[in-house]
Amino acid sequence: MITLEYKGKQLVNFTKKELKDSGVPDEIINQAMIEEKWSQIKVKREKLLFSTDYTQFDDSPLTIEKKADFAIYRQALRDLPQNYSNADDIDWPQMPQI
């Protein structure tokens, strides 16, 4: 489902066909689809970062080495949008073993 604004109207949860049938140009639909992919990637990335926050706390039960491994992993997650120009090409970093 695609959400976008076109000619002052907010079009929410439309299929590509519905948008085309409504007269929305292909380039606007395609851009909205790209933005939606990036939005989903950022949501997944934020969940992964949140789930590993505890690894960086001072009172974390992890060893210094494991904390460092998780710090590298978390930085790789943060760098995803800058390191990829195409959302379909993303190679997600592997979470370190605890």
* pTM score: 0.84
Asked if 41 contacts 90 with a C-beta cutoff of 8 angstroms, the reply is yes
Q: What is the mean pLDDT of each run of 10 residues along the chain (98 residues)?
A: 92 94 95 94 97 96 97 97 94 96
pLDDT of residue 78: 97
Rounded to 5 degrees, what are φ and ψ at 5? Answer: -110, 130
72 half-sphere exposure, CB direction, 13 A CA radius: 10
